[in-house]
Structure 1
Amino acid sequence: MRKIVILIFLFINGILFSQSQAQKIDSLLQVAETANDSVRLRIFNKVGFYFIFNDPPRAKQLLQNAIAEAKNKKVPFSEAELVNTYGIYYDVSGQADSANYYFKEALALSRQKDFKTITVMVINNLGMFHWNKGNYQDALDYFFQALKMNETNTSEAGNAVFFNNIGLIYQEMGQYDKAIEYHNSSLELRRKYNKTSEIPASLNNIGINLVALEKFDEAEKVLKEAVATAEAANEQGKYFDSLSSLADLYITQEKPAMAIPLFTEILKGRDAANIDRRANLIPISFLIQANNSLGNTNEALKYVVLGNEFLEEFPDLKNAAVDFYQHASETYFRTGNPQLGGAFLQKSLDAKERIFSDKSAAAIADLETKYNLAQKEKDLAQTKADLAERELEVEQKNTLIYGGIAIAIIFGLLGYLFFNQQRLKNKQLKKESELKTALARIETQNRLQEQRLRISRDLHDTIGSQLTFIISSIDTLKFGLKDTGGKTKEKLTHISAFASQTIYELRDTIWAMNKNDISWEDLQGRISNFIEKAGTASASVDFNFSVGRNVTPDITFSSVEGMNIYRIIQEAVNNALKHAQANHVSVEIDKKNELCTLTITDDGSGFLVISETTGNGLKNIHKRAADLGGNISIESEPGKGTRVVVTFKS
């Protein structure tokens, strides 16, 4: 059973609006019309922060106008505060470069005027920025800086946010016991200072970590308390988050009947209150899965329809769409509709491939992704966190040493000896840290390979076996329906062929995922095997595959590059066979200097290039050539065949 870890990302920006406070937005804006410059700009900042999560376009316009007014009226405190909030807008919108730019600008403005409270805000938000990008070391550095500054310049109550954020990083790293320790510290401060709106978030985070540790009874008790406190505080967003964590606990325990009413309440509540509706595709997917497992296929179909409507409204939800398509496919197969089942299964595979090609491939190679493949980054972040904590201890001890020397010169010799001893200890700590980092790098390489093998096995054992079962079932249906019309058999044959082709493409994807680098020798074997199969399937077609002398076996490609080269050849050859009815197909690969040239030629029917550039096949070839960083040329005329030339750096 898949687990969802819900992380509460806490930005610091003066005030977080609850649902009841949201009703005061219009009245606040009316107050701003007659208020003085400083008060009006602070109101704009708070309202702008609220709109970031409820009406982003309005937030952007309001903050832009307020920043311009702060500069014009020369109110530096408000300017720094507003620029910081503008950075939060871009971070929440996923525009990392702009977010980083405005956070750095806000930090420079606050430090220039020595606005310590804003400096702490910005440092914390920079930590959140790097956290969202998966840079755990940098995030921890900023959180520790913010914690140290807050202890010196502001109140103890403010430490709760930093304890919470550090706990969430340990939670991300899989250090659940340590995460609970920091979340408990945050919870104690929030209870001590009666922060009723923030207590549910701490309880929710503690419950999530207890689920990860499989302490289910304790987790259920804590999560129910989180739901109750959020409801009592009228914090609807936190109420739905806690309710989602509780429902996920029941899914983890394979209790779908208990999870279904909770996910249903979340859907209705978020829609009614218009709170984080984008997150609703996850409970929709879970409701389909739960109803499938209980045999309630008609109920599951209702949520499939709802999910399709939801994706039309939010088409950018790529990651959540993978699970939705997969569970929807199962529903259609269960209801005896293999055509739609196959179509939705293909959508799931296409969504996974887009995520792999567009976002995850480089992250897998570099271990920088947070999608279950970020173990190296987590291990390095753990080392960094331990070192940062030790450095804080060392700094405190050094402070005591220097203070002792300043108080009593008489003890100078003793202080020197103590200082020297501490310096040796620091060197030893540094050596231990370097050794730990080196060991972590070696270990994470092994873990990455294990992760890739595990993903490959999962793909082969689940999706591969399901597709094989579909093919077998279709063949059985064809045998059982031998007396039916030819159109039915023809449709079943097309579905079987489609499923078989999907298996081959899945195997190609597994082949690429299992490799950091693909050698030319390996790629050449893969291409030769494909052309050989094409020749067997099309015996009347003459195939030729030639490799230039300059293409040596020591040439290597990344897994993404290798897959793109292979797919271009596959797409071009299939076009020649299916659409051009070619008699001769030639594939040539050569290299001159740093450029590789890939040429696919056929003597088929050809086409007018201008009128055919919108086809899916040619679009795919153009996109993959662009992903290689290369150039593509397609030459064709009716009756004169087609020539596709792709050049790229090797």
Structure 2
Amino acid sequence: MNVYMGLKKTIYISVVLLFIQGIVLAQENNELSELRHKAAKVKDLDAYCEVCKYLYEMGSGADLLLIYADSIRQLAIRDKSLDCFLESYNWSSEAYFMKGDFSKGFSLKYKTLVLAENARRIGDALILCSDIGYYYNVCARYDSARYYFNKGMQLAEKTPLLADRYRTMLTNYASSYLFEGKMDSALVYTLQAKERSAADKDTAMLIENLNQLGTIYRRQKNLEKCISSFENALHLCEAQNNFRTAAYIYGNIATAYCDWKRPKDAIPFSEKAVEYALKLGNHQMIGVCYVNLGAIMCNISGRREEGIAVLQKAIPILEEVNNRRRLCEVYSYLINAYRQNGQQKAAMDYLGKLDKLAHELKTDVEHYRYYKSKAPLLQMGGRYAEATDYYLRMINMLENGYRDPMDYEHYMRLAECYRALRKDAAAYDCLYKAYALRDSSFHFEYTEQLSDYSVKYHTKEKELEIIRLRKNELEREAELLKRRIIFGSVLALLVIVMLFMLYIRLRQQVRIARLAKIASEKEQQFLVLQKDTEQRLTRKYIDGLESERQRMATELHDDVCNSLLALEMNVCSLPEVKDGRMDGQLKQLETIRQRLRNMSHELMPPAFQYATIDEMLSDYVLHLTLPEGMKAEYSSTEGVDWHKIPQKVGFEFYRIVQEAVSNALKYSAASCIRVRLEWKDGLLSVLIADDGRGFEPNKKTNGVGLRTLLQRADAVGAKVELDSGIGNGVQVKVTVLV
């Protein structure tokens, strides 16, 4: 009857909570629609950022966030705005982190950080260091996390206005030690962060510090300080209506009660956490709180079915927000619950889902959770050899630094598998390790079992004693013989070396080597001087060429184009124009003026401080004026940070492409011109190819265009490959090591 009433109460609470959740979702959709409508109307950076911020805070809509981040990127290209580029890369990275694609997320964060540092945007660089460190904590790469937190704190100390960021990073720095299981270091830095937050009167950060202290004291089994820290944090949260942090704190209190083997007392706190999460309306938090509540219920006799129902309720919410790590946790709890219920088929179904996610995420946490779930299932089915393999994988991770407070259980279960396989010596060893790891309060529980294994182990030891002694004797004899051989070999080698050294005329060889070295250095200096001279002459020629291009561009744009415009206006006033007899001439005059204007734009140097070589070449090819029947295509290597290409190299490559494409337009009569930019293993290359009439390179190597192209390539140390033939088109490939 009590179980029935408890289940009825749980169902009633779930219905009410779902009703509240539906109201919150409706409010969210209305607010998001208003923000999107505003962004579509205004189309500026602030409006787009408001939508991105809302999507990020709600923890859902990663694909939609990517779309708005790309809209900001289009603004950046159009306005050549550094702020737009920073916001675009930053929001794109957050979207990939939400999707669980940490590789792309980190790549974009690095790109944004480099851009901010080059522009000396200290505030932006500091925020990016904090974000990168946070996500390294999430994926358990704690040394990398601390590196970026340290870097950010050094920047914050130089800027007093960024003190709030310093407190945040100090707290996250302490968290990295907490996650890694280094409680002493975590306590030291968390106390420092707490003192800093209290001195600066930062209540929000003080709450985080108190919450973290409670978790640390829980791990250290200090009950009094643990509860005191959590209570102080809760008072501050509820005074400020901070439901988000309050939900996490109630969840931490519930976890503490579970650690002290009091799961029934943990239930009210976990339910309170769910209630606060629903008030906040954050799907990410709702899913996490459901997971914690379901896991606690599964550990209480008679409430396991309720726990399974709550865990299954969390799955669609976590799938919606793409929280794959928490999904792994849910699957693990469900596997354990079904295993304890004897429902092996249901447990195996969820094990398959956990297997897929664990291999996608490729982190130690998920792999360990998968092994921890699969090994007991195999053991339950009597597949002891297979179970042993997975227990050994877990133990290997534990011995290499992975933390698990229940590690002794794995040694216990491995000992049971070894016993079933009749490997008593291995079973004894595992049971001994389990006994050493477990607290003294569990000593008497396994002493008798340990003694049984010990008797069997020593019995086999005595049976093998004679064989072992004989083996040791043979090994000693082999070792003695080995030492004699080594000593004789070394002695013979020393004699040979001494005889050889008597015949070496050391002084003469040293003198000859010194003279050869001096001659080599002089020759090298001459070659370097010759190369420097050639480069200076080439640079001087190219600088003059660029200066003349800029002068001609200015003359064409400001003088010739304007004169043609004035001429066009004068002609329009003639009576013949009004009769329509000069429409063809006017159209030709307009075409000439537009072509001169385009030529002036192409002659001007590109602005590489706001766009990469990839973006500039893409824009150039896209806006080419092509004859009828001709098309131009552009492609580049994907996933490359093109900001790493030096501006000097990018500028010369841009001019080289202009020169080669111009030649193709003039002489090739091609149907297609292709431009391909590649970067692999530090090697930058650009290929310009057409399918035109071609020419014989041996008979045409003195053209101005080709000579200028070769000089530009030589100016940056690039290599030029020219391939052509009559009727085979032209291919020009320029390569340089960056």
TM-score class, shorter-chain normalisation, is: 0.5 to 0.7
Go from structure 1 to structure 2 and tell me whether the alpha carbon gap of 1:512 and 1:228 turns closer, same or farther (over 3 Å shift).
Answer: closer
Within the candidate set 405, 409, 423, 1:371 is matched to 405
Amino acid corresponding to residue 387 of structure 2 in structure 1: L
1:256–1:533 CA distance, 2 compared to 1 (3 A)? farther
Larger radius of gyration: 2
Separation in structure 2 between the aligned mates of residue 589 and residue 311 of structure 1, nearest angstrom: 52
Cα distance in structure 2, aligned partners of 1:505 and 1:216? 35
Q: How many residues align?
A: 402
Measured in 1, the distance between the counterparts of 2:460 and 2:371 equals 31
Question: How far 1:184 sits from its partner (Å)?
Answer: 2.6
1:345 alignment counterpart: 387
| 1:452-489 Cα distance to aligned partner (Å, 9 max, x none) | xxx49x855x5545665x5xxxxxxxxxxxxxxxxxxx
More contact order relative to length (CA 8 Å, sep ≥ 6): 1
Residue 293 of structure 1 and its aligned partner are, at CA, apart by 3.0
Q: Deviations over 1:521-579 (max 9, x none)?
A: xxxxx99976964988xxxx996323888xxxxxxxxxxxxxxxxxxxxxxxxxxxxxx
What is the aligned counterpart of 2:311 among 263, 281, 289? Answer: 263
Tell me the CA shift for residue 47 of structure 1: 5.9
Q: What secondary structure sits across from 2:242 in the alignment?
A: coil
Deviations 1:369-389 (A, max 9, x none): 56358xxxxxxxxxxxxxxxx
Q: CA 1:170–1:589 in structure 2 vs 1: closer, same or farther (change >3 Å)?
A: farther
Q: Secondary structure at the match of 1:83?
A: helix
Task: Show the 5 A alignment for 1:440-519.
Answer: 455=408, 459=411, 463-465=414-416, 468=419, 470=420, 499-501=421-423, 503-510=424-431
Residues 29 and 186 from structure 1, CA distance in 2 versus in 1: closer, same or farther, beyond 3 angstroms? Answer: farther
More helix by share: 2
The verdict on how the C-alpha distance between 1:268 and 1:32 changes in structure 2, with shifts beyond 3 A counting, is same
Matching residue of 1:251: 298
User: How far does residue 144 in structure 1 lie from its aligned partner after superposition?
Assistant: 2.6
Distance in 2 between the 1:31 and 1:41 partners?
A: 9
Matched AA of 2:58: S
Matched, 1:544 2:593: no
Matched, 1:76 2:122: yes
Distance change (3 Å), C-alpha of 1:64 and 1:183? same
Which residue of the other structure, out of 42, 55, 58, is the alignment partner of 1:18? 58
CA contact (8 A) 1:227 1:243 kept: yes
- Which residue, 242, 245, 249 being the options, matches 2:289? 242
Deviation of the 1:111 alpha carbon:
0.8
Q: Judging changes above 3 Å, is the alpha-carbon distance between structure 1 residues 318 and 312 closer, same or farther for their aligned structure 2 residues? A: closer
Q: Determine whether 1:328 maps to 2:377.
A: yes
2:295·2:311 contact (CA, 8 Å) conserved in 1?
A: no
Match of 1:30 in 2: 71
Change (3 A) 1:48 1:190: farther
After superposition, the C-alpha distances for 1:85-133 in whole angstroms (9 at most, x for unaligned) are 2222333333333322222221111112222122212211211122223
Aligned-partner Cα distance in 2 for 1:195–1:43: 30
> Cα–Cα, structure 1 residues 222 and 134, in superposed 2: closer, same or farther, change >3 Å?
closer
Displacement of 1:508? 3.5
> Is 2:268 the counterpart of 1:221?
yes
Spell out the pairing of 1:73-222 with structure 2 (5 A cutoff).
73-114=119-160, 115-153=162-200, 155-213=202-260, 216-222=263-269
- Whether the 8 Å CA contact 1:84–1:102 is kept in 2: the answer is yes
- After superposition, give the CA deviation of every residue in 1:7-54 in whole Å (9 maximum; x if it has no partner): xxxxxxx99732257554542553465476457646755664564453
**Relative to 1, partners in 2 of residues 1:21 and 1:191: Cα closer, same or farther, differing over 3 Å?**
farther
Distance 1:271 1:200 in 2: 21
Provide the residue aligned with 2:396 in structure 1.
Answer: 354
Q: Which letter does structure 2 place at the counterpart of 1:371?
A: P
Superposed CA offset, 1:263-315 (max 9, x none):
2233343234311x234344334323322333333323323433444444345
| Counterpart residue number, 1:445 | none
Q: Which amino acid aligns with 1:131?
A: L
**Within 1, Cα distance between the matches of 2:352 and 2:312?**
15
What's the offset of the Cα at 1:165? 1.4
Write the distance in 1 (CA, Å) between the matches of 2:386 and 2:122.
55
Contact conserved, 2:387 with 2:417, CA < 8 A, in 1? no
Distance verdict in 2 for CA 1:26–1:164, change over 3 Å? farther
Determine if contact 2:311/2:330 at 8 Å carries over to the other structure.
yes
Determine the C-alpha separation between the residues in 2 that align with 1:193 and 1:46: 29
**Is the Cα contact below 8 Å between 2:72 and 2:87 reproduced in 1?**
no
Amino acid aligned to 2:372? D
Q: Which letter maps to 2:393? A: A
Q: Does structure 2 retain, via aligned residues, the 8 Å contact 1:110–1:119?
A: yes
SS at match of 2:473: strand
**1:589, 1:190 → 2: CA distance?**
74
What is the distance in 1 between the residues matched to 2:200 and 2:470?
76
The change in CA–CA distance for 1:330 and 1:547 in structure 2 (over 3 A counts) is closer
- 172 and 71 in structure 1: CA distance in 2 versus 1, 3 angstrom threshold: same
One-letter amino acid of the counterpart of residue 19, structure 1: G
Distance 2:433 2:237 in 1: 49
1:56 corresponds in structure 2 to 102
2:388 touches 2:414 (CA, 8 Å); kept in 1?
A: no
In 2, the alpha carbon distance for the partners of 1:515 and 1:547 equals 35
SS across alignment from 1:17: helix
Query: Structure 1 residues 250, 131: closer, same or farther in 2, change over 3 A?
Result: same
Distance 2:219 2:262 in 1: 18
Q: Distance in 2 between matches of 1:192 and 1:251?
A: 33
Q: How does 1:587-606 map to 2 (within 5 A)?
A: none
Task: Check the 8 A contact 1:207/1:222 in 2, yes or no.
Answer: yes
User: Shift in Å at residue 180 of structure 1?
Assistant: 2.8
Q: 1:313 aligns with which of 338, 360, 379?
A: 360
> For residues 210 and 527 of structure 1, what CA distance do their matches in structure 2 show?
42
Q: Is contact 2:385–2:417 with CA below 8 Å preserved after alignment?
A: no
1:145 is displaced (CA, Å) by 2.5
Contact kept, 8 Å, 2:72 with 2:84, in 1: the verdict is no
Output the amino acid matched with 2:314. I
Distance 1:179 1:515, change over 3 A: closer
Please tell me whether the aligned partners of residues 197 and 230 of structure 1 are also in contact (alpha carbons under 8 angstroms): yes
Instruction: Please name the residue that 2:331 is paired with.
Output: 284
Pairing of 1:605-624 with structure 2 (within 5 A): none
Q: State the match for 2:46 in structure 1.
A: none
CA contact (8 A) 1:321 1:351 kept: no
**Runs of at least 5 residues in structure 1 that lack an aligned partner in the other structure:** 1-13, 334-340, 361-368, 374-454, 471-498, 517-525, 550-585, 593-650
* Contact 1:49 1:85 survives alignment (8 Å): no
Distance 1:515 1:155 in 2: 44
Structure 1 94/300 Cα, relative in aligned 2: closer, same or farther at 3 Å? closer
Q: Which amino acid aligns with 2:386?
A: F
Shift of 1:146: 2.3
